[in-house]
Structure 1
Amino acid sequence: MTWFALSLAAAFLMATNGAYMKKFFSDVSPWEMAIIPFFYSVPMCTAGIIFSGIPKLGPGFYPALSWVLPMMIVSVILHFRAIHMSPLSLTLPFLSFTPVFALITGDFFLGEKLSGAGISGMALVVIGGYVLNLDSTRFGFWGPIKAIYREPGSAIMLAVAAMYGFTSVGGKVMIIHSSALFTGFLIFVLLGILIPIILIGVGKASLGTILRKPLLGFGSGFIVFTEIICHNIAISMVAAAYMITIKRMAGIFSVIYGWILFHERGIRYRLIGTAIMTVGASIIAIYG
């Protein structure tokens, strides 16, 4: 179950970076917060390419890169745009639907077939992830669904979840035609260069702010660098939908960080969601 351990590690690192950014970069804009991990991971990912080497690239590598990269850039920008426009409790729940889209795209692009038990486990993780992110007092269970029709951020985040479903599978296509580490490192080098150029160019971010805390910035970059390694090796070993489903358990680690570091309250829905996700992940690990 190496893939499961690596996927869970990627989930932990994803949540760790979120808590790290909130702890040390809460004074910057959401746009600059989006840039910093990508920007500071560039030197490490570049070194990773140098030391791991450039593998022989198959015929499907560049066609996949040609649409995965722009879609990832758009999805990252829209992700933070949605959070900026609407409450977190009306946007974050929709990220839990990424595995559903990965299930569809994985079948279409890669011909990945999942077991009935595995799909059942995925459904539980998706439901648990949705419940995990609900606000316990303001909007209720159906609040985010209803908000699609009145909150632009909710509709945007659902579109982002669909894009992540495509990019995760597209990334695996690139891995098949190269290697797991090369694909991950290359994509993040390009993201770390292009996203800052775009957001600084349109006036959404300041280079001075991004460079203000270099040591802390490299700390975030290192977390992302380690996450890239775990993510790409894991997704190369198993169906993309399974891997993305386990990685969505980052929400559980985020809840723990929120409780320990930031003394967050209102954990009723979070405890319920955590229990549901844990059962779903166990089913995938054992029967998927």
Structure 2
Amino acid sequence: MTWLIFAFLNALFESLKDVFSKKGLRYCDEYLVSWALWFFADLVLLPSLFFMPIPELNARFWWALAIGGTLNSICAVLYIKAIKLSDLSITLPIVTFTPIFLFITSPLIVGEFPSAIDFVGVMAIVTGAYFLNLKQRSLGYLAPFRALMAEKGPRLMLVVAFLWSIAANFDKVGLENSSPLFWVISLFSFISVALFPLVVYKSRNFTGKLRRGWRSLALMGLAFAIAVSCQMQAVSMTLVVQAIAIKRTSVLMGVLWGALFFKEKGITERFLGASIMILGVVVMSLF
């Protein structure tokens, strides 16, 4: 059961990455934080290239890197902007909508089709999203959904979940035409380079902001690099779906960190809602 330890460490460091991201936003804008996440994580992972064989790369790899890297670059900015605008406890659970969007994107891109049990998971995810704003129920049956979408953070995270559902398919193409660690390093490097001009253009005095917030940003990148490394260890020891199902518990941890570090309110219903959403992901992953 060593894989289970790595899978939980993956979830833990994934959630800590979000905490350090939120803290970094106290000193830096979302563009600098978005770039720093991938840049510092890439610095940690790049030395691995000296200890691994470089795979033969074909056109499918480069196309996957170009498309997947571009989509992930857009998601990088939107993700950080979402957690800047709204509480962690209400924005992070929205990423569990990605499997729902995969129902549409996977058949079109890689020819994979969902099973009947997947629809049970979808219903659990939607039910969990309803519970995230259950306190609005007195205003009408659809009030929790309206309240959720009234917040800019969850709306942006929903866009991220959709774009990730597309990017995940290109991740698979990239992995199949290289190797897991090489793909991750290539993707991180692409995003770091792609976002840098945006940081220079949009982030005023970004060098000064970087000096003030570099500790949180470096810890954010380190946590992200450790999370990815643990995920790859877990995936190498068990089924991918099992490792990813455990990884999604980072959402629950993020809700708890929101209450502990940022004094966010309404944690009870948000934790319940996030738990139901995670259950939906587990059903879709393991059955």
**1:4 CA displacement:** 7.1
State the match for 2:98 in structure 1.
98
- Total equivalences in the alignment: 281
The one-letter code of the counterpart of 2:65 is L
Alignment of 1:128-143 (within 5 A): 128=128, 130-131=129-130, 133-134=132-133, 136=135, 140-143=143-146
List per-residue Cα deviations over 1:150-193 (Å, max 9, x = no partner): x7766554333211111122111100111111111111122223
Task: State whether residues 15 and 254 of structure 1, in contact with CA within 8 Å, keep that contact through their aligned partners in structure 2.
Answer: yes
In structure 2, what is the Cα distance between the partners aligned to 1:170 and 1:6? 25
Matched, 1:73 2:73: yes
Taking structure 1 as reference, are residues 80 and 257 closer, same or farther at Cα in structure 2, changes over 3 Å only?
A: closer
Unaligned runs of 5+ in 1: none
Match of 2:33 in 1: 33
Which letter does structure 2 place at the counterpart of 1:52?
A: M
- Alignment check: 8 A CA contact 2:70 2:191 kept: no
For 1:121, the equivalent position in structure 2 comes to 121
TM-score, scaled to structure 1: 0.77
Three-state SS of the structure 1 residue aligned to 2:54 is coil
Where does the alignment leave 5 or more consecutive residues of structure 2 unmatched?
none
**1:174 equivalent in structure 2:** 174
- What does the per-residue CA deviation read over 1:233-285, in whole Å, with 9 as the maximum and x for residues that have no partner? 66787577x87665444221111212333443322322321441354355356
Partners in 1 of 2:162 and 2:94 — Cα distance? 9
Query: Are the counterparts in 2 of residues 31 and 204 from structure 1 also a CA contact under 8 Å?
Result: no
SS at match of 1:60: helix
Q: What is the root-mean-square deviation of aligned Cα atoms in Å? A: 3.6
Q: Which residue of 1 aligns with 2:186?
A: 186
| Percent of matched pairs sharing the same residue | 25
- 2:207 aligned partner: 207
* Alpha-carbon distance in structure 1 between the residues aligned to 2:272 and 2:224: 29
Which whole-Å CA distance do the structure 1 matches of 2:222 and 2:52 have between them? 17
Aligned to 2:283: 283
Deviations 1:215-237 (A, max 9, x none): 54332221111222344566787
Q: Is the 8 A contact 1:93 1:144 kept in 2?
A: no
Q: Which amino acid aligns with 1:258?
A: G
Moved more, 117-126 or 222-231: 117-126
Q: How many Å separate the matches in 2 of 1:220 and 1:152?
A: 23
Code of the residue aligned with 2:166 in structure 1: it is F
Following superposition, the deviation at residue 10 of structure 1 comes to 3.4
Q: What TM-score, normalized by structure 2, do the two folds share?
A: 0.78
Contact 1:72 1:164 (8 Å CA) reproduced: yes
Offset of residue 15 of structure 1: 1.3
Structure 1, residues 51-79: CA drift from partner, whole Å, max 9, x if none? 22321224421111121111111222233
Question: Is the 1:8–1:247 Cα contact (8 Å) retained in structure 2?
Answer: yes
